[in-house]
Structure 1
């Protein structure tokens, strides 16, 4: 019963890879113990992989490819899709687009953008959400979020721009220390040559105009110079690719940027808030 429940709870790509591994293992007349010895794992680890209790690591997939893959590259291909299982379901379609970004411009109204989150902030945010998640799933989501940071140092260089509503900085997640470390990390990242970070003040609407009231968005230009907008709310992610719709949101984003503090002033403001915690 536990095996059936584990397999049902595992993400689709993980379930498929596990079933293929089991079928090929049985076809090769190998026990779980035998297969484990060949690729450097225990029989229990192979069992956990096949039942969905533990998703295969990249190292295990490479071992499975060598012993069971028959030169077809099955498990190498599976690794790409299992990697997507580390992200929330609504984010999985956008994750490859984000990693292929030539430019990424985002306005965030509620929490720090995932690319800029510290591990402690991300863990507090994910573990504190509702409905509650298992510790294993929290660890997977945190690991996936941290892996996204490779975009900062990728070649060719990606240009990243983030506008944070001041409310994001004043909303305390986890603890004061976590928030203080998060703000200091924001400043460090904001000083990267390929990053621009700005803050939209809480009083930006006093003049009768607040371009950010319609919510968050992330705009991406891919390496192929395609333009898309990603919007996420209540665990639902939407990709906007229609040129007219993308253009409309691009104009709105430009207005938000114009109403925000300048980059240097913004970093000083974040440093000031961190000092007050």
Structure 2
């Protein structure tokens, strides 16, 4: 598998002329497909058909995607000959990694009570609980070390958030090429840029130190995080990323970044509305309902919520 990715990297750079940064961005759809499928595999497929069916299915899908890659040629294009295969591979790997980790978690049974709980979460307030997720292995009475949680949060911050808020804007602007808007207006972009960066760093730190996990679906926090920026709004990381993108668009005088920010917000709104919040309601019921009634999803409160 890693050999496939190695030679695919060579193909993208030597045959298609991609730069190293553009090559990195080209692999992101596979990562996105993996993250989405990891959630669906553990919350939908695992409880219904079990790991013995889900894991072989994931291997079959990933293998089909890799076999599909053998059809690329010297004149192939990324969108038609590489992107679909990467998404298929990501779907298969998402099923394999998350479900095999979840099955392993349930099989780790210290002590006389042979039970183990994997708890999950995401960018939202957060700390979701579900059986059999590829998150931190957290048996009764156990925990995730803060050092591991901090390392995982740092990696997710650099790889995922860094790609969305730094690499993609860099690519869209042709390497930070700025426009010629009025300079004082452009400098106003530093305000949302700095504020958004501060909120992101603060929220990631709380995931590691208080939630004992990361914002990544495959290594979620074990505890509900409702402190810091979460006292004002339920989705501070999503809002902060949009603020960073708008700040860059204003600072660089590049309207394309405002369009990118709008598209990113629409996708996150749909994800939160139709997937994330229903899952939180199912898992935390009255506890999350109380939090949701007190704290808005997108428009911050004027005063911090003190009901945590």
TM-score by length of 2: 0.27
Structure number with larger C-alpha Rg: 1
> Normalized per residue, which structure has more helix?
2
- Normalising by structure 1, what TM-score? 0.29
